[in-house]
Amino acid sequence: MMPASKLDRRYEDLNIGDHVYFNRCFEQKDFGPFSRLSGDFNPLHHDAEYAALTAFAEPIVPMHMTAAPLSAIAGMMLPGHRSLYLGTDMRSLKPLRFGQEITYSAKIAAKNDAGSILSIKVIAFDALDVLFEATMSVQVRDDVPASSAPRHDEKIKILSPDKPRLLITGAGGHIGRCIGLAAARQGWNLVLQSRGNPKTVKELAAKYQAMGAQVSLIKSALETDGGIKKILAALSKDSPITDIVHAASPPINANLSSLMAVNFTALRKLCAGVIPNMLCRQSGSIVLLGSSAAQFNPSGWENYTAAKAAASQYTEALNTAYGPHGITGWTVAPGYVDTPFSAPWRNSETPSLLPEQVAEEIITCLQKARDGSRGQYIWMAPGVSRSGIFGFHSPNVKAPMSGPLNRDGADQERTQSVRMNDTTDNVLEMIRNYIGLDAGEDMSTAGVDISPGWDSLKHIQLMLFLEETLGVTIGAHEIEKTKTAADFCDLVAGKL
């Protein structure tokens, strides 16, 4: 309940992120008073026989009737009696049926100090379906003495942004542990899901609590409906989840049903359970720990990459459906990470990321989301990070170099041959992009002091770039012998 001193809300009492939400249901009987006031007697809104002949099959609520609670949002909630409602940009997204209960969420998106004007983002939704959206401009008047302020309905609560509370699945894994540590360091409260050794997770929780985080533990299997229900039931008892990091996955060589159940199906069901609360706040982010293997489908990894690809597509779908309403989907897709999870497929020379690097990238995504950034697909490799949309990449971009993926000697030989060709194409494309050469530039003759923009300084910078990106070391004596793009390809191929 809001203290009495705060019932008379002035401009300075309100902050970006403050929000309210409430439920409303329009009955068919409500259309009569609305039609008399508005003059709207369209049979689509009251004649069942007429509506049955339309694509809607039954009467639907007029958009301006759906918009009626906006007046109460300004006049009773944000800010309340000091409001001067200036204007609205609104849009109907899906039809609203009579008798259908919906939730309205109103959030202060911006403040204009010069005019004491609030920009308020409003959505109306039913479960996972957003039906209506609007942006209101409301001025907060200062021409009423505080002593003259009427008392507001004490049931109306203005909610400030929640302290971030992060659900981490697979929290006991090596990457999950690093995510928890980085999140606790940045001020998140944590919910840790794990199906593994409870002693390990309890030790992690104690470490995070020592850093000031509130920590809850959930032991549950993600591949079962009962396990998901257990998680959602536990979440409903506490303060709402603001963000999810889905880091859990069975081993790479697990069967397809298990990999799909944990990577994709569990993520979808968890999101279905928490997104309605995120819509109430118009804020939230879901980050998937993906894999860059989904871009290249290594031999023997088909089940794993299929599951990761499905989950990555789902985070893109979240962006499409909910990005305009403050909820973002992200995929962080690293290459090989130096953990026991990928150890059977790596050797001592395989370029690998540290789990701490992946965790920091995930926390960066969470922070960007809270600052208003749209979700992305982040492709990580040692020394380089690319962002974009999952599923599209230039045909000239090849799979990153890695350790052997096949145990059979003949397969390894064929794989090595393919990689040699891939290396040449990859290095040539890197050089073209770094130097800024035109698409039509003949790379067979490109080189220092030959191609436009490729001078001695740029040559040294290119050396450093290739070292960092490809994880190789180029000696001083080799620099003297490397003058052309072809020289670079031979040098890098030899080292890889």
pLDDT digits (tens, 9 = 90+) for 368-389: 998 888 899 998 888 777 887 7
Instruction: pLDDT band for 416, please (50, 70, 90 cuts).
Output: very low
- Confidence at residue 6, expressed as pLDDT on a 0 to 100 scale: 52
**If you average pLDDT over residues 448-470, what whole number do you get?**
78
- Confidence at residue 72, expressed as pLDDT on a 0 to 100 scale: 94
The two three-digit tokens of residue 486, written as one number: 């072809």
Q: Is 150 left (phi over 0), alpha (psi -120 to 50) or beta?
A: beta
**If you average pLDDT over residues 28-55, what whole number do you get?**
95
Residue ranges of domains in the chain, CATH in brackets = 4-148 (3.10.129.10), 165-388 (3.40.50.720), 409-495 (1.10.1200.10)
- Confidence at residue 253, expressed as pLDDT on a 0 to 100 scale: 93
Ranges of H-type helices in 40-90: 48-52, 63-66, 69-72
Instruction: pLDDT band for 365, please (50, 70, 90 cuts).
Output: very high
Q: Which residues are CB-contacts of 223 (< 8 A; sequence separation ≥ 6)?
A: 250, 258, 261, 262, 265, 266
The two three-digit tokens of residue 238, written as one number: 């506490």
- Confidence at residue 203, expressed as pLDDT on a 0 to 100 scale: 92
- Confidence at residue 455, expressed as pLDDT on a 0 to 100 scale: 78
Q: Which of 108-117, 440-449, 453-462 has the highest mean pLDDT?
A: 108-117
Which residues on adjacent β-strands are paired with residue 331?
288, 377
- Confidence at residue 415, expressed as pLDDT on a 0 to 100 scale: 37
- Confidence at residue 407, expressed as pLDDT on a 0 to 100 scale: 37
pLDDT at residue 288 greater than cutoff 90:
yes
pLDDT at residue 256 greater than cutoff 90:
yes
- Confidence at residue 496, expressed as pLDDT on a 0 to 100 scale: 61
Long-range pairs for 335-341 at CB < 8 Å and ≥24 separation?
A: 335/292, 335/293, 335/380, 335/381, 335/382, 335/400, 335/402, 336/402, 336/403, 337/174, 337/175, 339/173, 339/174, 339/175, 340/174, 341/173, 341/174, 341/175, 341/249, 341/251, 341/252
CB of 435 within 8 A of CB of 451? yes
pLDDT at residue 452 greater than cutoff 70:
yes
- The beta strands (E) that lie in 73-173 are given as 83-92, 101-112, 117-126, 129-140, 165-169
In the chain, count of helices (H) and strands (E)?
16, 13
Mean pLDDT of the chain: 85
- Confidence at residue 2, expressed as pLDDT on a 0 to 100 scale: 40
- Confidence at residue 299, expressed as pLDDT on a 0 to 100 scale: 83
Cα–Cα distances (Å) from 369 to 86, 108, 183, 411, 440, in that order, read 30, 17, 14, 43, 39
Rounded percentage of the chain residues whose pLDDT exceeds 90: 59
Decide: helix, strand or coil at residue 28: helix
CA angle (216 as vertex; 161, 240 as ends), nearest 5? 30
Largest CA distance in the chain: 89
- Confidence at residue 446, expressed as pLDDT on a 0 to 100 scale: 83
**Cis ω for the linkage preceding 276 (within 30 of 0):** no
The two three-digit tokens of residue 181, written as one number: 């540590």
Q: Find tokens 């067979």 and name the residue.
A: 444
Q: Find tokens 């300075």 and name the residue.
A: 12
